[in-house]
Amino acid sequence: MANPSVMSMPVSSHSQPQTTSVVATEVVASLLAWLPRVRRDLPWRRRRDPYAVWVSEIMLQQTQVATVIPYFERWLARFPDIASLAAASQDTLLKAWEGLGYYARARNLQHAAQAVMARHGGVLPSRREALLALPGIGRYTAGAILSLAFGQAEPVLDGNVRRVLCRVYDIASDPAAPATERELWSLAGNLVQAAPEGQAGDLNEALMELGALVCVPGQPACSACPLAGVCLAQARGVQAERPVTAKRAPTPHYTVAAALVLDDAGRYLIARRPTHGLLGGLWEFPSTPAEASGTGQRAQESLPDFLVRAVDERLGIQIAAGARLGQISHAYTHFRITLHSYHCAWLGGQPGVASYYAAVAWVAPAELGAYPFPVTHLKIRKCLNREAPLGRRLLRDFTEQAY
């Protein structure tokens, strides 16, 4: 049987390497010696209990460390254990996550906490199969919890680790391809198996730290890398070309209109999105995509006229659109939007939710902060705070003309 500590890699056809194999034990020893010198002091590293590791790993998915730190600290102050998370109301949960994005992560955290309370007596399980059965926990998160919190020899493969492995082993195929993904998991598993007993978590942390601080996208800082002597891509001069990235399709862009509907009592109309789907459970000012929606194509209508019709068809109320508050550009994972918001006057009808929204509410401006909003609508709120007197005056003038 071959020695698992030695991973032989094929020679690239375009150049001759200085090295033809990477020894796992050398990689492990170098990383474990390097980590204490560079390890960042992060709040989730000060406590390695399973709940804190779990929360931090979910928050860090597609989110920068500096952004996560204050959210993590506030989250643990608000939900110090699995029981308190499981019992939280939806608004309390989403308000704690407000602005962090990818809100399904928060909902899955709570669903998983509720499952842990029901199935495991409120204790996060230490078995891989049990973790993978929980909502929102995939192979990477399970590996992080098991290695960092329980000291088990389980691999992790996030963006940083993927980039490190693609360079160290000079992987010349797209890491998103299923066959390459399987190869990378195998390589990561080989490394944790080569780590001293109980140090798989430190090794995984070192791999993630290396990708975050040294083996960065584009041009890595090879002169500061503890693996420079064994890195195949560096030896072949192709480190800037790894990982290989497939050509991405153009990102779609959509125009969205939002109605800032003000009633006679000076309250704004807000609506809660359905629990499932994009931004599920969050509140927003009634809005609609202009290109295509349940109201049909916008055709030749102006954006304000389209918004008036869409609000009538979706909520059953009549409004008059006045001055535009502003426009906000925002990028989601797979598309971009430009959001145009308009001061609107309520003319009649009682808002209903029909099938588009889960709930509606008239809310005084000073109370809007109690509701969880997505980032784009948080920006609208900030604009409203700055321009409220102007908006009300413009709206009053416009409404008087409408009547």
Q: Is residue 247 part of a domain?
A: no
Q: Is residue 137 part of a domain?
A: yes
- Cα(401)–Cα(47) distance, integer angstroms: 62
Using an 8 Å Cβ cutoff, are 153 and 188 in contact? no
Angle 106-96-90 from CA coordinates, rounded to 5°: 60
What pLDDT is stored for residue 388 in this prediction?
Answer: 56
What pLDDT is stored for residue 324 in this prediction?
Answer: 94
Residues 26 and 145 in one domain: yes
What pLDDT is stored for residue 10 in this prediction?
Answer: 40
The DSSP annotation for 41-100 comes to --GGGS---HHHHHHHHHHTTTS-HHHHHHHHHHHHHH--SHHHHHH--HHHHHHHHTTS
Q: Is residue 246 part of a domain?
A: no
Query: Span 163-189, mean pLDDT?
Result: 97
Residue 296 has pLDDT above 80, yes or no: no
Give me the domain span that covers residue 394: 253-402
Provide the number of structural domains found in the chain. Answer: 2
Strand partners, 338: 255, 329
Q: How confident is the model at residue 403 (pLDDT cuts 50, 70, 90)?
A: very low
**Strand segments (E) across 332-389:** 336-348, 359-363
Alpha helices (H) along 88-148: 90-97, 104-120, 128-132, 139-144
200 vs 10, higher pLDDT: 200
Q: Which two tokens stand for residue 402?
A: 């409408």
- Cα(25)–Cα(193) distance, integer angstroms: 9
Residue 387 has pLDDT above 90, yes or no: no
Active site residues: 57
Residue 163 has pLDDT above 90, yes or no: yes
323 vs 10, higher pLDDT: 323
- Cα(381)–Cα(370) distance, integer angstroms: 12
Which domain-ending residue is among 241, 269, 296?
241
Residues 390 and 310 in one domain: yes
**Strand segments (E) across 95-225:** none
**Percent of the chain scored above 90 by pLDDT?**
81
Residues 44 and 190 in one domain: yes
- The number of beta carbons lying within 10 Å of the beta carbon of residue 336 is 12
Q: Is residue 248 part of a domain?
A: no
User: Residue 282: which CATH number?
Assistant: 3.90.79.10
Residues 208 and 103 in one domain: yes
Q: Is residue 268 part of a domain?
A: yes
Residues 354 and 379 in one domain: yes
- Cα(330)–Cα(380) distance, integer angstroms: 12
Residues 282 and 223 in one domain: no
> Would you call 220 helix, strand, or coil by DSSP?
coil
User: Residue 34: which CATH number?
Assistant: 1.10.340.30
Using an 8 Å Cβ cutoff, are 72 and 55 in contact? yes
Tens-digit pLDDT profile for residues 312-357: 999 999 999 999 999 999 999 899 999 999 999 999 999 987 778 9
What pLDDT is stored for residue 385 in this prediction?
Answer: 82
**Whole-number average pLDDT of the chain:** 90
Name every residue whose Cβ is closer than 8 Å to that of residue 106 and which is 6 or more positions away in sequence. Answer: 93, 94, 96, 97, 100
Query: Span 95-114, mean pLDDT?
Result: 96
Query: Span 362-391, mean pLDDT?
Result: 87
Provide the 8-state DSSP code for 365: G
Residues 22 and 152 in one domain: yes
User: Percent helix, strand and coil across the chain, each rounded to 5?
Assistant: 45, 15, 40
Residue 15 has pLDDT above 80, yes or no: no
> Would you call 126 helix, strand, or coil by DSSP?
coil
What pLDDT is stored for residue 16 in this prediction?
Answer: 36
Residues 231 and 269 in one domain: no
Least confident stretch, 17-31, 74-88, 183-197, 201-215? 17-31
Residues 195 and 263 in one domain: no
What pLDDT is stored for residue 247 in this prediction?
Answer: 83
Query: Span 30-37, mean pLDDT?
Result: 98
Which domain-ending residue is among 241, 268, 289?
241
Tens-digit pLDDT profile for residues 230-275: 999 999 999 999 999 888 889 999 999 999 999 999 999 999 999 8
Q: Which two tokens stand for residue 236?
A: 């072949």
Residues 173 and 274 in one domain: no
